Amino acid sequence: MIEEMEKDDRVFLMGEEVGHYQGAYKVSEGMLEKFGPRRVIDTPIAENGFAGVGVGAAMVGLRPIIEFMTWNFSAVAFDQILNSAAKMRQMSGGQFNCPIVFRGPNASARQVGSQHSHAMEHFYAHVPGLKVVAPAFPADAKGLMKAAIRDDNPVLFMESETLYSLKGDLPDDLDTIPMGKAQIVREGTDCTIVAYSRMTHVALEAAAALEKKGVSVEIVDLRSIRPLDEDMIVQSVRKTHRCVVVHEGWPYGGVGAEVSDRVQRLAFDFLDAPVLRVTTLDVPMPYNAKLEQLCMPQPDRVVAAVERTVGRGRAA
* Residues classed as catalytic: 47, 116
**Whole-angstrom Cα Rg for the chain:** 20
Cβ–Cβ < 8 Å for 67, 54: no
| Edge-to-edge order in the sheet of strand 155-160 | 40-42, 11-15, 63-67, 101-106, 155-160, 131-133, 224-226
Q: In angstroms, rounded to a whole number, what is the distance separating the alpha carbons of residues 135 and 184?
A: 13
Q: In angstroms, rounded to a whole number, what is the distance separating the alpha carbons of residues 1 and 100?
A: 13
Cβ–Cβ < 8 Å for 231, 182: no
CA atoms within 13 A on the CB side of 3: 10
Q: Which helix H or strand E contains 185, and what residues bound it?
A: strand 183-186
**If you count them, how many residues does the chain have?**
316
Q: In angstroms, rounded to a whole number, what is the distance separating the alpha carbons of residues 182 and 96?
A: 30
Centre a 10 Å sphere on the Cβ of residue 295 and count the other Cβ atoms it contains.
22
Q: Are strands 191-195 and 217-221 parallel, antiparallel or unpaired?
A: parallel
Q: In angstroms, rounded to a whole number, what is the distance separating the alpha carbons of residues 232 and 250?
A: 24
Q: In angstroms, rounded to a whole number, what is the distance separating the alpha carbons of residues 129 and 87?
A: 6
Alpha helices in 60-183 (DSSP H): 78-79, 88-91, 121-125, 138-150
